[in-house]
Amino acid sequence: MESGTSLERMVFFSDAVFAIALTLLALDLKLPEGMAAAQLDGALVDALPELFAYALSFVIIAKTWLSHHSDFALIRHFTPTLAWLNLALLFFIAMLPAPTSVLSEYGDDPTPWPSILYATNIAAIYLLMAVIWSYARHAKLMDPGMTAHVHRRVFTARMAVPAVFLLSIRPRSS
């Protein structure tokens, strides 16, 4: 990528959004204020669902950022369509702290909405990663050395994640 190109700017902007999303995840991790030291053990145990949701979302965002980085190392050309697809991806990356918070706060409640929101958000992220990957290949934006075999392998892996998360959505029995 040449310095100052639209592609380079898009990648730098994407990196910033990923970093902000990771930071926003951590802001939701809090213990109650003003508690006695004797209550700390119980408060830490009570915070485990929030910590688990944070860790899972952190790994998902980090893995997505690593994949995004690898993808854009192979993408050589910029188009407005690529930019819009990338912005759609960043929308769901930036949104992930909200369903993470809902899941950690209300995941044990009988309503299925916390897990539905969370699974749908993750599925959207990976579907958009697959769409960007395919669009870049079919629009001939990628390094010409990218083989069809590698493209299919990456695309299939990307499609497995949304399948798992969408299949995890099941109505809860009352």
Could you give the CA distance from residue 84 to residue 38 in angstroms, rounded to a whole number?
Answer: 52
- Model confidence, pTM: 0.86
Contact 77, 7 (CB under 8 A): yes
By 3-state DSSP, what share of the chain in percent is helix, strand and coil, each rounded to 5?
75, 0, 25
Q: Cβ–Cβ contacts within 10 Å for residue 2, how many?
A: 6
pLDDT digits (tens), the chain, 174 positions: 444 589 999 999 999 999 999 999 887 767 667 777 777 777 677 777 788 888 999 999 999 999 999 999 999 999 999 999 999 999 999 999 999 999 888 877 778 888 899 999 999 999 999 999 999 999 999 998 888 888 899 899 999 999 998 888 876 555
Q: What is the DSSP letter of 167?
A: H
Q: What are phi and psi of 75, to 5 degrees?
A: -85, 125
